[in-house]
Structure 1
């Protein structure tokens, strides 16, 4: 593969992607990252922004699995196409193929560690190729442990539980983004079952080194 093609597109050519919690826009044709102990919940919330099936890629050797009964509160489990990979190299390869098809709006990859710059650029390129084929703007979401750290992602988010008494509550942080400063919000699940951003104005946060 010609590595020079990995940078042939500017991030300014991104297209509208998916809205998170009806408030935050995650650009299409790009790879984004979600970390924190509730990162899989973040992916389910993002999946609410579309009605099509989504691909969820995970390592079959890892004990953490998506619990469909718990996922039902946020997304129809029938829309989640699970792909279990037996080798680490297959995780990002499957993500590339899913993006390159251009058929699905969201490809989620549950990773054991953050990927480097070149693999992330390959994901950007695969999404662009898929868009050229179908006219859609597929989006890739990388789920990484700890505080994340994938190089070259369009944005990095952290979601952690912060439950208060009987009210399911989460702390949502935007750690970095190309077009927005780091910030933090509180998210609560309302009586209708939908998660809602409780805080009106973001609290600025210092981006970690």
Structure 2
């Protein structure tokens, strides 16, 4: 009796979270957002996802999420806030949360960019959760220009202060199979996501 071991069907594409027709973030992986508006990027991402969002930030951080500022992007009631008192617990909490798969989105607001080994551990934790349920998505927020090693994608977001509506320059700075690109992102309607227009082009996608 012969058994066919290899099929001719193409490999199934990894599931992703669609932030916009031009932007999909792969689930079961860890991504990075940096720049002065990195938290706005995280809230936009959370608003496009379903279910609870786990937000991890240092207990010693003075600034905190403001529900009024969150409302245009996502319902603050969906957020579970974790504030570890030790720096080493920030990534530990994120790893355990990803491994559990209890929250579809896990965000860690970090004081600095983590190295390659911690990011690999986070990828592995998210992949392990994906064997039991829909894979979670991890997002690390890093100051200034970022630089976390081994992340699936890196995004930089900064306000432009040019339009009446809130607007930013959003740049994809790292992706495994996609080139760097920048958009002007505008927020015109609550909970409706962002309108993107490629910088230096006339192409607008809503």
Cα-to-partner distance string for 1:105-152 (whole Å, 9 max, x where unaligned): 110000000000000000000001111122x11110000000000000
Q: Give, in whole Å, the separation in 2 of the partners of 1:17 and 1:83.
A: 25
Q: How many residues are aligned here?
A: 191
Cα-to-partner distance string for 1:31-67 (whole Å, 9 max, x where unaligned): 1000011100101111122220110000010112111
Instruction: Report the alpha carbon displacement of residue 165 of structure 1 after superposing the two structures with TM.
Output: 4.3
Instruction: Report the alpha carbon displacement of residue 22 of structure 1 after superposing the two structures with TM.
Output: 4.5
Aligned to 1:72: 71
Unmatched runs of 5 consecutive residues or more in structure 2: 1-10, 202-206
Larger deviation, residues 76-85 vs 182-191: 182-191
Aligned to 1:176: 174
CA RMSD, Structure 1 to Structure 2 (Å):
2.0
Q: Which has the larger radius of gyration?
A: 2
Instruction: Report the alpha carbon displacement of residue 191 of structure 1 after superposing the two structures with TM.
Output: 4.6
| Cα gap change, 1:179 to 1:203, in 2 (>3 Å) | farther
Q: Is the 8 A contact 1:14 1:30 kept in 2?
A: no
Instruction: Report the alpha carbon displacement of residue 104 of structure 1 after superposing the two structures with TM.
Output: 1.8
Q: Give, in whole Å, the separation in 2 of the partners of 1:193 and 1:168.
A: 13
Aligned to 2:4: none
Aligned to 1:5: none
Higher helix content, 1 or 2: 1
1:107 is the counterpart of 2:106: yes
Unmatched runs of 5 consecutive residues or more in structure 1: 1-11, 205-209
| Cα gap change, 1:64 to 1:21, in 2 (>3 Å) | farther
Q: Is the 8 A contact 1:34 1:144 kept in 2?
A: yes
Q: Is the 8 A contact 1:36 1:159 kept in 2?
A: yes
SS at match of 2:135: coil
Instruction: Report the alpha carbon displacement of residue 203 of structure 1 after superposing the two structures with TM.
Output: 5.6
TM-score, normalisation: structure 2:
0.86
Q: Is the 8 A contact 1:15 1:137 kept in 2?
A: no
Q: Is the 8 A contact 2:36 2:158 kept in 1?
A: yes
Cα-to-partner distance string for 1:155-201 (whole Å, 9 max, x where unaligned): 000111112242211110001100110110001112566343331x4
Aligned to 2:147: 149
